[in-house]
Amino acid sequence: MQKITTDALVQKAVELLNNNTVSYVLGWKKGEFDYDITPYVFKDEKTLKEEFIYSDFCGVNLSKYLVAKTKELAGKILVFLKPCDTYSFNQLLTEHRFNREKVYAIGIPCEGMLDIDKIKLNLEGISSIVETKEGVKVNTLDDKTIELEKQAILLEKCKNCKSKKHYAYDELLGEEGDVLDNNRFDEVAKLESMTAEERFEFWQSQLSKCIRCNACRDACPACTCEKCVFDNPNSGIENKSPANSFEEKLFHIIRAFHVAGRCTDCGECSRACPQNIPLHLLNRKFIKDINEHYGEFQAGLEVGQRGPLVSYTTEDVEPSDVFNKGE
Amino acid sequence: MQITEHKPLIVAFCCNWCSYAGADLAGNNRLNYPADVKIIRVPCSCRVNPMFVLRAFQKGADGVIICGCHPGDCHYTSGNYYARRRMAMLFSMLDYLGIERERTRVEWVSAAEGAKFSATMNDFVEKVTKLGKNKRLEDLRCKK
């Protein structure tokens, strides 16, 4: 598959800006380093040409930004969507979170995004990162060059990519990909096969790292409530001091439960987590359970889907039977 | 210091139309069930937010049981069907996090089943007592 270049995207965006199809461009903006890229709303051709970028570090899912931006800005917004972002895009439309009329979506191919934290594990003092065919070449401050293979430094969410196919767009740049076979539930199954003590140990060690920064909530495209239960000062769970206690578990169970059936498994929670907690494993557990007990379901395949937790059948499995499998 | 047997704290969410009346019937019929069970009346089993269950544990419950009308008999037609899916997911998640699965249960008890209510509670309390204190879910900051 031909890789899409930053220039091609800028050219398209400038064209649409100039013929007044759109007034704004939601994309990724260069940062101080090659890897610190932020979502940004571009308003004119000049900044687009100077600062727009699409590289291996554009892991951010732009769908969620549409919720705020379509309300805030008067004109039409151009947004670039990677395949997995289109699921979130559809899911947000299903939930009536933004006006489709105000958005011009362009689907762009993605070959997996990189995790800077994983690169940093291998070396110190990055001066620049150059993309190569097999991965990246990292130049360090002490004039060394280190080559890293792509598979080893992919974001957690990209390691088990579920699809290269776009489910929503007005226009597609590059070639359309396919839905991929993936083994994204393997890690969940591995945890399930452990004993309760081992599972508890695992999650205790992971979730006790949580600093309750709420990044997972804020990055999640499914978490778009304007009033969140975790912002309630009387909830008794907003305390910030990290303690090896039930509070973190309660937060993460509720966070995952609240998006159960709506989570598209885009993996933003794990990407955003500054503590590198594998939060996607909680969401995937729900997806796996839903698939097993209520039939295969992928959120965001089309607009208007009814989620599995807001519907039922009279023959549903009893809660006690959910446990009894396997043992 | 005298070592006393651990008395569990059980929270039972009972739907107003079936299970709560079932508990009432158990009382009228002089059927025993342990005093460790604290009943919270809810309008329907689907009123039970997953947060209620977790908060109960956080505040020191050793077991949580949710009782509702039998599937098909919901006063509001379909509330317990939703509750069934929700609680199946929630309890499966708790199990995934390594919480003992005997600490949670969903049971369907109708208004005519006082005996079932009493038997269920006796059984549940016995199992939770065996598990002992709920160490995995306690939140020290919620302790008095």
Give pLDDT tens digits for B16-62: 999 999 999 999 999 999 999 999 999 999 999 999 999 899 888 99
Whether residue A325 has pLDDT greater than 60: no
Cα separation, A169 vs A173, whole angstroms: 10
The alpha carbon of residue B71 is apart from the nearest alpha carbon of chain A, in Å, by 7
CB contact (8 A) between residue A245 and residue B93 = no
Higher pLDDT, A321 or A85: A85
Domain ranges of chain A: 6-115+155-172, 118-153, 186-324
pLDDT at A238: 61
Average pLDDT for A39-55: 93
Closest CA to A23 of A72, A67, A58: A72
> How much of chain B, in percent, has pLDDT values that exceed 90?
78
Mean pLDDT over A36-50 rounds to 93
In chain A, % helix, strand, coil (3-state, to 5) comes to 40, 15, 50
Q: Is residue B141 part of a domain?
A: no
**Cβ contacts (< 8 Å) between B139 and chain A: which residues?**
245-247, 250
Q: How far apart are CA A302 and CA A313, in angstroms?
A: 22
- State the number of CA atoms in the 13 A half-sphere of B39 facing the CB: 22
**Predicted local distance difference test score (pLDDT) of residue A160:** 87
Lowest mean pLDDT: which of A120-124, A269-273, A284-288, B68-72?
A120-124
Please check whether residue B104 lies inside any domain of the structure: yes
Structural domain for B105, as ranges: 10-130
Residue B20 lies in a domain: yes
A112/A122 Cα distance (integer angstroms): 19
Tell me the per-residue pLDDT of A233-283, one tens digit each, with 9 for 90 and over.
776 666 555 565 777 888 899 999 999 999 999 999 999 999 999 999 999
Q: How confident is the model at residue A32 (pLDDT cuts 50, 70, 90)?
A: confident
Residue A162 confidence (pLDDT) above 50:
yes
Number of structural domains (chain B) is: 1
Predicted pLDDT at B63: 95
pLDDT score for A327: 46
Q: From CA A6, how far away is CA A174, in angstroms rounded?
A: 12
| Average pLDDT, integer, range A158-167 | 90
Tell me which range, A153-162, B110-119, B135-144, is most confidently predicted by mean pLDDT. Answer: B110-119
Interface with A, mutate which of B46, B67, B84, B93 (most A CBs under 10 A) = B93
| 3-state SS class at A142 | coil
d(CA A116, CA A239): 30
- What sign has the CA pseudo-torsion B43, B47, B53, B59? negative
Cα–Cα distance for residue pair A158/B99, rounded to 1 Å: 30
Nearest-neighbour CA in chain A from B61: distance (Å) = 13
Strand partners, A126: A140
pTM of the model: 0.91
Residue that wins the pLDDT comparison between A16 and A239? A16
- The two structure tokens encoding residue A146: 């280190």
B52 touches chain A (CB under 8 A): no
Looking at the domain assignment, is residue B95 inside a domain? yes
Position B15 in a domain: yes
Q: Is A165 in contact with A176 (CB distance < 8 Å)?
A: yes
Decide if B16 is inside a domain: yes
B124 and A CB contact within 8 Å: no
The answer to whether the CB of B117 falls within 8 A of the CB of B33 is: yes
How distant is the alpha carbon of residue A167 from its chain centre?
A: 16
Question: At A80, is the pLDDT very low, low, confident or very high (cuts 50, 70, 90)?
Answer: very high
Would you tell me how many other CB atoms lie within 10 Å of the CB of residue A154? Answer: 21
* Mean pLDDT score of chain A: 89
Yes or no: say if A284 and A235 are a contact pair by the CB < 8 Å rule. Answer: no
Sequence-ordered list of residues with C-beta below 8 angstroms from that of A317, at least 6 positions apart, any chain: A293, B88
Residues 6+ apart with CB under 8 A from A68: none
Give the mean model confidence (pLDDT) for residues A56-73. Answer: 93
ipTM, interface predicted TM-score of the complex: 0.91
Are residues A314 and B99, on separate chains, in Cβ contact within 8 Å?
no
* Average pLDDT, integer, range A111-126: 88
Statement: residue B84 has pLDDT above 80 = yes
pLDDT classification of B142: cutoffs 50, 70, 90: low
Mean pLDDT computed over A176-204: 90
Please list every residue in chain B whose beta carbon sits closer than 8 Å to the beta carbon of residue A251.
none
Confirm whether B51 is domain-assigned. yes
CA atoms within 13 A on the CB side of A152: 11
B77 — contact with chain A (CB < 8 Å)? no
Average pLDDT over residues B130-136: 86
Comparing alpha-carbon positions, the chain B residue that sits nearest to A229 is: B51
**Exposure of A145 by Cβ count < 10 A (0-12 exposed, 13-18 middle, 19+ buried)?**
exposed
Residue A326's pLDDT is: 45
Residue A298 has pLDDT above 90, yes or no: yes
CA–CA dist A3, A133 (Å, integer): 10
Is B5 inside any structural domain? no
Alpha-carbon distance of A10 to B25, in angstroms, equals 73
The distance of A172 to chain B (nearest Cα, Å) reads: 37
* pLDDT beyond 70 at A107: yes
Check CB contact under 8 Å for A246 and B138: yes
The confidence score (pLDDT) of residue A280 equals 94
Distance CA A93, CA A70 (A): 12
Mean pLDDT for the stretch of residues A112-133 = 87
- Residue-wise DSSP of A23-64: SEEEEEE--SSTT--EEEEE-SHHHHHHHB--STT-----TT
For all residues of chain B together, what is the average pLDDT?
91
Give me the percent of chain A exceeding a pLDDT of 90.
Answer: 61
pLDDT (mean) for A84-90: 94
What's the gap in Å between the CA of B2 and the closest CA on chain A? 28
Sign of the Cα pseudo-torsion (A176, A179, A181, A186, in order):
positive
